[in-house]
């Protein structure tokens, strides 16, 4: 593929479809240019650069254009998001560092609800950029620990809040919470908060997790970079919905919850196009031997360990 030609065609096509009159230029009269749309000189004037500089960009010959300059080009030429992405790819070889719309990722097309409900055999769900669940299947609904003789329910619509702040998640549902779950979850949240400072849900999560006596010390350590969950395998308890489905090794995490099976859950993750930051998860659960005593550590022990680390660092 000739990226220079693709960039040239994109920018020329956008110039052609912009009316100079809408941008303040008087109608053309008499002799002169009759090609529809904006000229290179007019685009350069709007960008406050020389005509030569813009012409170099359009020919794909401007060395390493800055992201700030490309954002100005996208604004002046009124590029739609897919066109803005193409501008970055053709100019720099990669997509923009963040979407143009600050609310991108907070909404997912309605068709995903039907698509996720059609997934059977393993829990499936979609969350937005702030981990609010927006679509899920029956298996996901049945995944959470519940009291005997109660219907399946989602204990918390925000999964990050559930996984980092809910006692049932930390002590009963997510096996080896301190050693396998807490640190990568905290790293993910830190990354999302930094990347989306305008998202109120994420900023609220940041405050709640930082203030929590159990998750707070882990969150504030800030010693692990972002860890993408795709392909990760962690230990979890899975409550089975009927005796016919139940494997042979069922046990109770406590007297307050129905019997469940300890096993490994592998997270298979995809991104709904058009909703950057949102995620579609399929959780592949495989029953395994019960968690051994030396691998299962309570959240209080994790806090104690991180407190010792903090003290050593000071």
**Apex 267 CA angle, 264 and 268, nearest 5:** 135
Q: What is the number of residues in the chain?
A: 314
Nearest Cα to Cα of residue 183 among 152, 146, 226, 151 = 226
Residue 142 within any structural domain of the chain = yes
Q: What is the CATH number of the domain that holds 78?
A: 1.10.260.40
- Strands, DSSP E only, in 239-292? 261-270, 279-287
Residue 186 lies in a domain: yes
From 63-67, 101-105, 129-133, 146-150, the region with the lowest mean pLDDT: 101-105
State whether 120 and 246 are in the same domain: yes
Are 171 and 284 part of one and the same domain? yes
Judge whether residue 102 has pLDDT over 70.
Answer: no
294 and 156 in one domain?
yes
Q: Are 204 and 86 part of one and the same domain? A: no
Beta-sheet strand order (sheet of 279-287): 133-136, 124-127, 279-287, 261-270, 233-238
Do 45 and 143 lie in a common domain?
no
Residues 34 and 146 grouped into a single domain: no
Q: How far apart are CA 120 and CA 282, in angstroms?
A: 10
Stretch 23-30: mean pLDDT, rounded?
Answer: 67
Looking at residue 112, its pLDDT comes to 87
Answer whether residue 311 shows pLDDT above 60: no
Given 92, 122, 152, which residue is the final one in a domain?
A: 92
Number of domains in the chain: 2
Distance CA 200, CA 277 (A): 15
Assigned domain for 98 exists = no
Neighbours of 94 (CB within 10 A): 9
Please say if the pLDDT value at position 313 is more than 50: no
Q: Comparing 95-99, 109-113, 214-218, 302-306, which segment has the lowest mean pLDDT?
A: 302-306
Give me the domain span that covers residue 271: 111-313
Where residue 250 falls among pLDDT bands split at 50, 70, 90?
Answer: confident
Task: Specify the residue for token string 């399929």.
Answer: 282
């Amino acid at each position: 593929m000739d990226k220079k030609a693709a960039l040239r065609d994109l920018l020329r096509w956008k110039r052609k479809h912009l009316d100079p009159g809408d941008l303040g230029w008087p109608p053309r009269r008499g002799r002169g240019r009759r090609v529809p749309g904006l000229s290179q000189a007019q685009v350069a004037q709007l960008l406050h650069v020389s005509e030569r500089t813009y012409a170099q960009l359009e020919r794909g010959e401007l060395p390493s254009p800055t992201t700030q300059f490309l954002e100005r080009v996208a604004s002046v030429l009124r590029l739609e998001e897919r066109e803005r992405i193409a501008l970055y790819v053709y100019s720099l070889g990669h997509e923009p560092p963040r979407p143009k719309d600050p609310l991108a990722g907070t909404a997912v097309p309605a068709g995903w609800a039907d698509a996720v409900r059609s997934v059977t055999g393993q829990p499936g769900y979609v969350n937005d950029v702030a981990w609010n669940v927006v679509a899920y299947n029956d298996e996901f609904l049945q995944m959470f620990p519940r009291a005997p003789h109660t219907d399946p329910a989602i204990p918390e619509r925000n999964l990050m809040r559930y996984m980092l702040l809910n006692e049932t998640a930390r002590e009963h549902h997510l096996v080896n919470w301190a050693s396998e779950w807490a640190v990568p979850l905290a790293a993910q949240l830190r990354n999302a908060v930094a990347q989306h400072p305008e998202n109120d849900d994420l900023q609220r999560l940041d405050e709640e997790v930082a203030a929590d006596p159990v998750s707070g010390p882990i969150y504030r350590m800030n010693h692990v970079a972002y860890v993408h969950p795709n392909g990760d395998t962690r230990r979890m308890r899975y409550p089975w919905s009927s005796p016919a489905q139940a494997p042979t090794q069922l046990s109770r995490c406590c007297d307050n919850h129905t019997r469940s099976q300890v096993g490994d859950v592998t997270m298979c993750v995809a991104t709904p196009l058009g909703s950057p930051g949102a995620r579609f998860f399929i959780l592949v659960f495989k029953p395994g031997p019960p968690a051994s005593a030396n691998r299962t550590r309570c959240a209080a022990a994790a806090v104690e360990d991180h407190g010792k680390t903090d003290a050593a660092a000071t």
